Amino acid sequence: MASASDAPALEARDLRKSYRLSRTNVYEALRGVSLVVRPGEMAAIIGPSGSGKSTLMNLLSTLDRPTSGKVLVDGTDTSRMGDASLATLRNRKIGIVFQQYNLISRMTCVENVQLPLVAMGVPPLERHKRAKAALESVGLGHRLRNRPAEMSGGEQQRTSIARALVTRPKILLGDEPTGNLDSKTTQGVLQLFHEINEAQGVTTLLITHDMNVARQTRRVIRIRDGLVEADEPNLPLPVTA
Protein backbone atom coordinates (compact mmCIF):
# COMPACT_ATOMS: atom_id res chain seq x y z
CA MET A 1 0.00 0.00 0.00
CA ALA A 2 1.23 3.50 -0.82
CA SER A 3 2.18 5.66 2.12
CA ALA A 4 0.37 8.94 2.72
CA SER A 5 3.40 10.81 1.43
CA ASP A 6 3.37 9.14 -2.02
CA ALA A 7 -0.39 8.74 -2.44
CA PRO A 8 -1.98 10.51 -5.42
CA ALA A 9 -3.51 13.89 -4.64
CA LEU A 10 -6.65 12.75 -6.47
CA GLU A 11 -7.62 9.39 -7.89
CA ALA A 12 -10.73 8.31 -9.77
CA ARG A 13 -11.43 4.60 -10.11
CA ASP A 14 -13.97 3.57 -12.74
CA LEU A 15 -16.29 6.49 -11.98
CA ARG A 16 -19.81 6.19 -13.32
CA LYS A 17 -22.64 8.66 -12.87
CA SER A 18 -26.17 8.12 -14.13
CA TYR A 19 -29.28 10.27 -13.89
CA ARG A 20 -32.78 8.83 -14.24
CA LEU A 21 -34.73 11.12 -16.56
CA SER A 22 -37.89 9.01 -16.56
CA ARG A 23 -39.02 5.51 -15.66
CA THR A 24 -37.40 4.13 -18.82
CA ASN A 25 -34.75 6.73 -19.68
CA VAL A 26 -31.37 6.86 -17.91
CA TYR A 27 -28.65 9.35 -18.88
CA GLU A 28 -25.06 8.22 -18.31
CA ALA A 29 -22.97 11.33 -17.71
CA LEU A 30 -19.82 9.33 -16.89
CA ARG A 31 -19.26 5.80 -18.17
CA GLY A 32 -16.14 4.59 -16.38
CA VAL A 33 -13.52 7.29 -15.83
CA SER A 34 -10.21 6.46 -14.16
CA LEU A 35 -7.36 8.92 -13.65
CA VAL A 36 -4.61 9.83 -11.21
CA VAL A 37 -3.43 13.35 -10.36
CA ARG A 38 -0.09 13.42 -8.57
CA PRO A 39 0.86 15.88 -5.81
CA GLY A 40 2.08 19.17 -7.25
CA GLU A 41 0.69 18.58 -10.74
CA MET A 42 -1.05 21.28 -12.75
CA ALA A 43 -3.47 19.75 -15.25
CA ALA A 44 -6.58 20.57 -17.22
CA ILE A 45 -9.69 18.53 -17.96
CA ILE A 46 -11.18 19.70 -21.22
CA GLY A 47 -14.24 18.71 -23.20
CA PRO A 48 -17.22 20.13 -25.07
CA SER A 49 -20.56 20.89 -23.46
CA GLY A 50 -22.20 17.64 -22.35
CA SER A 51 -18.93 15.70 -22.28
CA GLY A 52 -19.14 14.95 -18.55
CA LYS A 53 -16.32 17.21 -17.39
CA SER A 54 -18.47 19.21 -14.94
CA THR A 55 -19.93 15.98 -13.56
CA LEU A 56 -16.39 14.69 -13.09
CA MET A 57 -15.43 17.92 -11.31
CA ASN A 58 -18.34 17.54 -8.89
CA LEU A 59 -17.29 13.98 -8.09
CA LEU A 60 -13.57 14.76 -7.68
CA SER A 61 -14.43 17.66 -5.38
CA THR A 62 -16.75 15.35 -3.34
CA LEU A 63 -19.65 17.75 -3.89
CA ASP A 64 -21.52 14.82 -5.46
CA ARG A 65 -21.29 11.04 -5.20
CA PRO A 66 -20.77 8.60 -8.07
CA THR A 67 -23.33 5.97 -9.02
CA SER A 68 -20.41 3.54 -8.81
CA GLY A 69 -16.65 3.73 -8.56
CA LYS A 70 -14.43 5.53 -6.07
CA VAL A 71 -12.78 8.89 -5.49
CA LEU A 72 -9.65 8.98 -3.34
CA VAL A 73 -8.47 12.32 -1.95
CA ASP A 74 -4.86 12.38 -0.70
CA GLY A 75 -5.06 8.60 -0.31
CA THR A 76 -8.40 8.63 1.55
CA ASP A 77 -11.22 6.55 0.06
CA THR A 78 -14.28 8.79 0.17
CA SER A 79 -16.81 6.17 -0.96
CA ARG A 80 -17.94 5.18 2.53
CA MET A 81 -17.67 8.55 4.22
CA GLY A 82 -20.77 10.28 5.55
CA ASP A 83 -21.77 13.80 4.52
CA ALA A 84 -20.28 15.44 7.64
CA SER A 85 -16.95 13.65 7.22
CA LEU A 86 -16.87 14.56 3.52
CA ALA A 87 -17.53 18.21 4.34
CA THR A 88 -14.62 18.21 6.82
CA LEU A 89 -12.30 16.53 4.31
CA ARG A 90 -13.31 18.97 1.59
CA ASN A 91 -12.88 21.98 3.83
CA ARG A 92 -9.39 20.94 4.93
CA LYS A 93 -7.90 19.51 1.74
CA ILE A 94 -9.73 20.94 -1.29
CA GLY A 95 -10.14 24.53 -2.44
CA ILE A 96 -12.75 25.11 -5.15
CA VAL A 97 -12.96 28.10 -7.50
CA PHE A 98 -16.25 28.45 -9.39
CA GLN A 99 -17.06 30.19 -12.66
CA GLN A 100 -19.78 32.29 -11.01
CA TYR A 101 -17.52 33.42 -8.10
CA ASN A 102 -20.27 32.54 -5.53
CA LEU A 103 -19.50 35.56 -3.35
CA ILE A 104 -22.09 36.88 -0.88
CA SER A 105 -23.06 40.36 -2.03
CA ARG A 106 -23.75 41.85 1.43
CA MET A 107 -20.35 40.79 2.78
CA THR A 108 -17.04 42.56 2.28
CA CYS A 109 -14.17 40.96 0.46
CA VAL A 110 -12.41 39.89 3.65
CA GLU A 111 -15.65 38.57 5.16
CA ASN A 112 -16.26 36.38 2.11
CA VAL A 113 -12.78 34.94 2.33
CA GLN A 114 -13.20 34.17 6.04
CA LEU A 115 -16.27 31.96 5.51
CA PRO A 116 -14.50 28.57 5.23
CA LEU A 117 -12.60 29.34 8.43
CA VAL A 118 -15.88 29.91 10.28
CA ALA A 119 -16.86 26.33 9.42
CA MET A 120 -13.49 25.15 10.76
CA GLY A 121 -14.03 26.91 14.07
CA VAL A 122 -11.07 29.28 13.67
CA PRO A 123 -11.26 32.20 16.19
CA PRO A 124 -12.30 35.60 14.74
CA LEU A 125 -8.93 37.38 15.05
CA GLU A 126 -7.11 34.47 13.42
CA ARG A 127 -9.77 34.28 10.69
CA HIS A 128 -9.25 37.94 9.83
CA LYS A 129 -5.47 37.57 9.84
CA ARG A 130 -5.52 34.56 7.51
CA ALA A 131 -8.12 36.08 5.18
CA LYS A 132 -6.13 39.30 4.92
CA ALA A 133 -2.96 37.33 4.11
CA ALA A 134 -4.80 35.29 1.46
CA LEU A 135 -6.12 38.44 -0.19
CA GLU A 136 -2.69 40.03 -0.14
CA SER A 137 -1.27 36.92 -1.81
CA VAL A 138 -3.64 37.42 -4.78
CA GLY A 139 -2.98 41.15 -5.00
CA LEU A 140 -6.13 42.37 -3.23
CA GLY A 141 -4.76 43.68 0.04
CA HIS A 142 -6.29 47.07 -0.84
CA ARG A 143 -9.82 45.62 -1.31
CA LEU A 144 -10.51 44.17 2.15
CA ARG A 145 -13.59 46.31 2.84
CA ASN A 146 -15.04 46.39 -0.68
CA ARG A 147 -18.15 44.40 -1.53
CA PRO A 148 -18.39 42.27 -4.70
CA ALA A 149 -20.42 44.89 -6.61
CA GLU A 150 -17.55 47.34 -6.10
CA MET A 151 -15.00 45.06 -7.77
CA SER A 152 -14.29 43.98 -11.34
CA GLY A 153 -14.89 40.42 -12.54
CA GLY A 154 -11.19 39.67 -12.29
CA GLU A 155 -11.05 41.00 -8.73
CA GLN A 156 -14.09 38.94 -7.76
CA GLN A 157 -12.46 35.81 -9.16
CA ARG A 158 -9.24 36.59 -7.28
CA THR A 159 -11.36 36.93 -4.14
CA SER A 160 -12.83 33.47 -4.77
CA ILE A 161 -9.30 32.10 -5.26
CA ALA A 162 -8.25 33.66 -1.94
CA ARG A 163 -11.30 32.06 -0.30
CA ALA A 164 -10.27 28.69 -1.75
CA LEU A 165 -6.70 29.11 -0.45
CA VAL A 166 -7.46 30.42 3.03
CA THR A 167 -7.84 26.89 4.45
CA ARG A 168 -4.37 26.00 3.08
CA PRO A 169 -5.63 23.13 0.92
CA LYS A 170 -3.45 20.55 -0.79
CA ILE A 171 -5.65 20.58 -3.91
CA LEU A 172 -7.09 23.51 -5.87
CA LEU A 173 -9.92 22.81 -8.33
CA GLY A 174 -11.12 25.40 -10.82
CA ASP A 175 -14.52 24.86 -12.48
CA GLU A 176 -14.34 27.02 -15.63
CA PRO A 177 -12.56 29.67 -13.50
CA THR A 178 -11.97 31.97 -16.49
CA GLY A 179 -15.33 31.39 -18.19
CA ASN A 180 -16.72 34.82 -17.31
CA LEU A 181 -13.53 36.79 -17.91
CA ASP A 182 -12.12 38.68 -20.89
CA SER A 183 -8.87 37.48 -22.47
CA LYS A 184 -6.59 39.89 -20.61
CA THR A 185 -8.13 39.13 -17.21
CA THR A 186 -8.03 35.41 -18.04
CA GLN A 187 -4.26 35.61 -18.48
CA GLY A 188 -3.88 37.34 -15.12
CA VAL A 189 -5.93 34.65 -13.36
CA LEU A 190 -3.99 31.85 -15.09
CA GLN A 191 -0.74 33.48 -14.01
CA LEU A 192 -2.03 33.42 -10.45
CA PHE A 193 -2.87 29.70 -10.70
CA HIS A 194 0.66 29.04 -11.96
CA GLU A 195 2.20 31.01 -9.11
CA ILE A 196 0.12 29.11 -6.53
CA ASN A 197 1.08 25.78 -8.08
CA GLU A 198 4.79 26.55 -8.38
CA ALA A 199 5.42 28.57 -5.22
CA GLN A 200 3.11 26.72 -2.83
CA GLY A 201 3.14 23.26 -4.43
CA VAL A 202 -0.67 23.14 -4.49
CA THR A 203 -1.99 20.45 -6.85
CA THR A 204 -4.05 22.35 -9.41
CA LEU A 205 -6.75 20.94 -11.70
CA LEU A 206 -8.70 23.20 -14.06
CA ILE A 207 -11.96 22.21 -15.78
CA THR A 208 -12.37 24.12 -19.03
CA HIS A 209 -13.85 24.06 -22.52
CA ASP A 210 -11.13 26.46 -23.74
CA MET A 211 -8.07 24.87 -25.33
CA ASN A 212 -6.14 28.13 -24.87
CA VAL A 213 -6.54 27.66 -21.11
CA ALA A 214 -5.76 23.93 -21.19
CA ARG A 215 -2.57 24.48 -23.21
CA GLN A 216 -1.16 26.57 -20.36
CA THR A 217 -1.06 23.55 -18.01
CA ARG A 218 1.37 20.63 -17.97
CA ARG A 219 -1.14 17.89 -18.72
CA VAL A 220 -4.35 17.79 -20.73
CA ILE A 221 -7.07 15.21 -20.03
CA ARG A 222 -9.72 15.16 -22.77
CA ILE A 223 -13.25 14.04 -21.89
CA ARG A 224 -15.88 13.11 -24.46
CA ASP A 225 -19.18 11.27 -24.06
CA GLY A 226 -18.46 10.42 -20.45
CA LEU A 227 -15.08 8.78 -21.11
CA VAL A 228 -11.43 9.82 -21.10
CA GLU A 229 -10.60 10.26 -24.77
CA ALA A 230 -6.94 11.21 -24.27
CA ASP A 231 -4.54 11.95 -21.41
CA GLU A 232 -1.40 13.67 -22.63
CA PRO A 233 1.58 15.49 -21.11
CA ASN A 234 1.80 19.05 -22.31
CA LEU A 235 4.56 21.61 -22.64
CA PRO A 236 2.63 24.65 -21.41
CA LEU A 237 2.58 27.88 -23.32
CA PRO A 238 4.12 30.78 -21.39
CA VAL A 239 1.58 32.72 -19.39
CA THR A 240 1.71 36.48 -19.76
CA ALA A 241 -0.37 38.79 -17.60
> What pLDDT sits at residue 235?
73
The tens-digit pLDDT sequence of the chain (241 residues) is 344 457 899 999 999 999 988 878 889 999 999 999 999 999 999 999 889 999 999 999 999 999 999 999 999 999 989 999 999 999 999 999 988 889 999 999 999 999 999 989 999 999 999 999 999 999 999 999 999 999 999 999 999 999 999 999 999 999 999 988 888 899 999 999 999 999 999 999 999 999 999 999 999 999 999 999 999 998 765 555 5
> What pLDDT sits at residue 2?
41
Distances (CA, A) of 32 to 68, 91, 102, 198, 211: 9, 27, 30, 31, 24
> What pLDDT sits at residue 237?
59
> What pLDDT sits at residue 1?
37
Topology of domain 40-62+87-233 in CATH is: Rossmann fold (3.40.50)
- Using H for helix, E for strand and C for coil, what is the string for the chain? CCCHHHCCCEEEEEEEEEEECCCCCEEEEEEEEEEEECCCCEEEEECCCCCCHHHHHHHHCCCCCCCEEEEEECCEECCCCCHHHHHHHHHHHEEEEECCCCCCCCCCHHHHHHHHHHHCCCCHHHHHHHHHHHHHHCCCCCCCCCCHHHCCHHHHHHHHHHHHHCCCCCEEEEECCCCCCCHHHHHHHHHHHHHHHHHHCCEEEEEECCHHHHCCCCEEEEEECCEEEEEEECCCCCCCC
> What pLDDT sits at residue 238?
58
Domain segments of the chain: what residues? 40-62+87-233
pTM: 0.90
Q: Which amino acid type is present at position 114?
A: Q
